[in-house]
Amino acid sequence: MDKKVYRKIEEATPGALERLISAPTVVPKEGLTGRWAVLSVLARVADEPEFMSRMADNPHEAMKEYYTLTHEEKAALASGDIRRIENWVGKLDKRLSKWLWYRMSQEKW
């Protein structure tokens, strides 16, 4: 994808970015950082059942292509830490919080 597209997405206002994310897999995975990368993962999980399945089986492996995510962001996404993620990105709607509720409801021993 063109570098200009990445720059436009990174410079987008929060409302504009969320409109982009509301369409399935519109936001490119590479080049996004911080809240944009976290929102991109949540949007992809909501839209792609195969990706959600990979996240459930091995979240760190599933997120490998999201190389801009920090260790802390990956850990929060892997564990379903809604409080931490909403502190970073703001209040999530039902669609984007789907993965986090699913992950918290799993019993991993």
Domains of the chain, by residue range, sit at 3-104
For residue 13, pLDDT beyond 70: no
Q: Which tops the pLDDT comparison, 108 or 55?
A: 55
Q: Determine the pLDDT at residue 14.
A: 57
Most confident range, picked from 10-14, 19-23, 39-43, 93-97: 39-43
Q: Which positions ≥6 away from 18 have C-beta within 8 Å?
A: 39
Q: Determine the pLDDT at residue 19.
A: 55
Q: How confident is the model over 31-60, as pLDDT tens digits?
A: 556 788 889 899 998 889 999 899 989 999
Q: How confident is the model over 71-92, as pLDDT tens digits?
A: 999 999 998 888 999 998 888 8
pLDDT bucket at 23, cuts 50 / 70 / 90: very low
Q: How far apart are CA 51 and CA 73, in angstroms?
A: 17
